[in-house]
Amino acid sequence: MTWDWSAVSDFMPKFWDGLLVTLQILALGSLISFALGLVWALLMRTPTRWVRWPVGVVTEFIRDTPLLVQLFFFFYVLPEWGLTWSALTTGICAIGLHYSTYTMQVYRAGIEAVPAGQWEAATALNLPVRRTWTVVILPQAIRRVVPALGNYVIAMLKDTPILMTITVLEMLGQARLFSQEHFQFTEPLTVIGVAFIVIAYPASLLVRALERRLVR
Residue 173's SS3 state is helix
Question: Tens digits of per-residue pLDDT, 98-111?
Answer: 999 999 999 999 98
Q: pLDDT at position 66, please?
A: 96
Label residue 132 by pLDDT band (50, 70, 90).
Answer: confident
Label residue 20 by pLDDT band (50, 70, 90).
Answer: very high
Q: pLDDT at position 97, please?
A: 97
CA neighbor of 204 nearest in space, from 157, 139, 164, 168: 157
CA distances from 85 to 23, 67, 160 (A): 19, 18, 18
pLDDT above 90: residue 48: no
Question: Tens digits of per-residue pLDDT, 173-199?
Answer: 999 999 999 888 999 999 999 999 999
The mean pLDDT of the chain is 90
pLDDT above 70: residue 79: yes
CA distances from 34 to 3, 64, 100, 161 (A): 42, 19, 6, 21
Label residue 42 by pLDDT band (50, 70, 90).
Answer: very high
**Is the model's pTM score more than 0.75?**
yes
CA neighbor of 59 nearest in space, from 74, 75, 40, 72: 40
pLDDT above 70: residue 36: yes
Q: pLDDT at position 7, please?
A: 86
Q: pLDDT at position 192, please?
A: 95
Q: pLDDT at position 80, please?
A: 92
The distance in angstroms from the start CA to the end CA of the chain is 52
Residue 2's SS3 state is coil
